[in-house]
A and B are shown apart, each in its own frame.
Chain A
């Protein structure tokens, strides 16, 4: 069967199970758009190509499948860069398809020609230029294989316009992926495995560091069995949240810079760290010289390049988390670790009194209250997509996730503007799920144009803007480390409720604590998107905090009198 390159692309994507493509057209990709119109694929028109990449990323993170983003050459392609880097840092499988000028003029600085494969080389798992229609089917299949294989990541496929237009034979069976042969590495030898087992069964104060890799691996059940077998307390990274139910007594909460103090203290006192699918990010370890000094360390990790990168470990079990855990569990002897678990519970008691939730109602609206109320009202069952900043940390602290892939957030790159588009992608992936956006007033203003996409696509997401009038996370650093010199962090914003109305979306504003629950309930009852502008305490800070580069043991704790008298008047 003869098809054009553009038709082959659409046919291939359909066969790979793609339903939605998030994109934005332009000259160099027009043949594909023409073919899209005749295909069964649904194209979601975004308002900025960055949004397309975040949507594809949100789709991938919510579903575990691959998100597809599309753009034209030149500025369309360069607008994708931030979204590609975001997906790369968090190991998210995204396939980006860009149009390119015709192969005949490649290299001539043609109109809207840009070397997007050169630009994205360090921020993609792989990228490739296609100049012939007959290469399209095979290359797209390879792109999908690469994006979601092993440690996932973004793949960019740049297709010249002449390849889109030319005709070629389409034969799915004959266009099997032909990736270069790889050496199969021995995952880990028996001696290493035995040492890990010995360490597991002799530890007195073990703690698991659970990361994003557990979700990637689909290892939730194997993980739970492993935890139960050894009765290990579990600490989670930001991206690990959801891999193990928050309401399980063995789940301690988040570790790291804004992790719970008892979790960090437990890590510092532990005699064994069992790291599973996490990469010891500097936000997790703090000062490496003082990190978990008394602990031996086991690292279960699929990517050899992560071993001993930041933290030197005693045993590395290289492989897929699920496979390794399933192999380990039968060798794990049950211990109750009672004294150790009780000790951690004592550490916890001290923190509870400092918790903002424990403060008497002083009429002020704190972000923590808002997020905790969203958690209670949604029963912890919603998919929450956050942006980057203070509200992101409060979400991690006050929304308790029991299921995997229900917290979607940019961790490694920390990309402001991620939440709104990623939530749209997540909603497409899981149309039956309730999706909440938790976003700051700063980050929302970066990609709020995607409200129009929501309206055009008739999407139902709930948007909670945590409006503190500041680039809050940066203001907090200025408060702590720059003598409260608030340079470039006070932030003017439009009336978000009115703005929503202008887009044809219901908008609400909340200034008092008593209004929070009713508005959440009313928003949940609606089957349309609702935007709520929560005017919260302006100068609140996220506690506890490990200053960048400080030891995990030195946490800045919430002061005893946190009532800062700066509540905004509406």
Chain B
């Protein structure tokens, strides 16, 4: 599994280009999250892909060839902070409710909705942690689940920022026209 971060233009169709590219390269995507950045014209993606290092290199380099992708980087081998968020609806009756509450506490999850027959639990953390909670909730009856997919950030001073805008180069333009 490989993790890539990409900064892209925040405009319609870009997600399509990115996912279509992965499909064309025959790379299976495990999760892809997009969200705005502090600059509203730029969005940030975390892409988790079923591939090896070579595949990740190809994906990274191919992504950067897309006009709307400002930067793509394979961060799999770096020190990462990773988060996934899940909402899990479990069936809960009067009898098993206390037991459930205990588990929720252990996993530092919280109850965000209470109904007579069910609870919605919100949990965030690594994929492993959420998978672990899911495992212990299963016997109670998981009715519904929604997960955001992974977002990742390199730790500490290892910054991954979008490139700054640069002025057009008129030399470049005249080189690409047919004017002789």
List chain A positions with a Cβ less than 8 A from chain B: 15-19, 63, 65-66, 93, 117-118, 121-122, 125-126, 141, 144-149, 151, 176-185, 303-305, 307-309
Contacts and interface: CB of A to CB of B under 8 A. Distances in A.
A377 B165 CA distance: 55
Given A181-B70, A181-B165, A305 B62 contact: yes
Contacts of A178: 168
Contact of A181 (B20, B64, B65, B163): B163
B178 A121 contact: no
A177 B168 contact: yes
A149 to B, nearest CB: 6
Contacts of B159: none
A537 B162 CA distance: 62
Contact of B58 (A151, A179, A305): A305
Interface stretch (B82-90, B93-101, B169-177): B169-177
A180 B168 contact: no
A335 B17 CA distance: 49
Number of contact residues on B: which range applies?
20 to 34
A177 B168 CA distance: 7
B176 A303 contact: no
A16 B179 CA distance: 6
Nearest to A318: B61
B173 A145 contact: yes
B179 A179 contact: no
A146 B166 contact: no
A305 B166 contact: no
Q: Is the interface of A mostly helix, strand, loop or mixed?
A: loop
A181 B168 contact: no
Contacts of A183: 64, 70-71, 163
B71 A148 contact: no
A15 B64 CA distance: 30
Contacts of A17: 177-180
Nearest to B176: A148
Contacts of A126: 66-67
Given A148-B176, A305-B62, 12 more contacts: A16-B179, A65-B178, A122-B24, A147-B176, A149-B176, A177-B168, A180-B9, A181-B162, A183-B70, A304-B57, A305-B58, A308-B57
Contacts of B70: 180-183
Residue from the set B65, B176, B177 with the largest chain A CB neighbour count within 10 Å: B176
B177 A66 contact: yes
12 contacts: A15-B177, A17-B178, A17-B179, A63-B178, A122-B24, A145-B173, A145-B176, A146-B67, A181-B70, A183-B71, A184-B163, A185-B64
